[in-house]
Amino acid sequence: MMSALDECGSLVDEIKDVFETDKLKRAKAIIKNACDAAPASSEATSSFREILDLPYNDDVDEGLSEEEAEDRFLKEFYDGNTFINQEVGNHKQLSTRQNGVFGQIKAFDRGVSKKEVVSWPSDDIDNFNGCEMNTVMCCWVTDRVINNGDNNGDCKGPYPNRKPDDGESNCIDADPADNTDLCYVDMERSPQANHVEGGFALFPGDVEEGTHCHGFIWSDDQDDASNVYKANNLFYVSMEDHLRTRGYVRNVPGAPMCGCLEQMPTVSRADCTQTSVKYLYDFKYTGESPDFLIATVIGRKVSFNACDGETNNDLESKYDQMVENGEITRSDYFADIVVGEDNCADGIDKFLQDKGFTKVN
What distance in Å separates the CA atoms of residue 40 and residue 44, rounded to the nearest whole number? 12
246 domain-assigned? yes
**What's the pLDDT at 164?**
46
27 with 109, same domain: the answer is: no
Question: For residue range 38-59, what is the model confidence (pLDDT) as tens digits?
Answer: 667 778 889 999 998 876 666 6
23 with 160, same domain: the answer is: no
132 with 32, same domain: the answer is: no
299 domain-assigned? no
Contact 312, 172 (CB under 8 A): no
Pairing of strands 271-285, 212-217: parallel
Q: Kindly give the residue spans of alpha helices, DSSP state H, lying in 174-314.
A: 191-194, 225-228, 230-235
Q: Which domain holds residue 174?
A: 48-277+304-354
Question: For residue range 136-189, what is the model confidence (pLDDT) as tens digits?
Answer: 999 999 998 886 555 688 887 677 655 544 556 678 788 999 999 999 999 999
pTM of the model: 0.86
**What's the pLDDT at 189?**
96
142 with 234, same domain: the answer is: yes
217 with 71, same domain: the answer is: yes
293 domain-assigned? no
Q: Give me the number of domains the chain comprises.
A: 2
325 with 229, same domain: the answer is: yes
Nearest Cα to Cα of residue 275 among 308, 304, 255: 304
User: Which amino acid does the sequence have at 357?
Assistant: F
**What's the pLDDT at 140?**
98
190 with 267, same domain: the answer is: yes
66 with 28, same domain: the answer is: no
60 with 197, same domain: the answer is: yes
**What's the pLDDT at 211?**
96
What distance in Å separates the CA atoms of residue 192 and residue 175, rounded to the nearest whole number? 26
Residue 133's pLDDT band, with cuts at 50, 70 and 90, is very high
* DSSP per residue, 53-94: -PPP-HHHHTT--HHHHHHHHHHHHHTT-HHHHH--S-TTTS
User: Which amino acid does the sequence have at 254?
Assistant: G
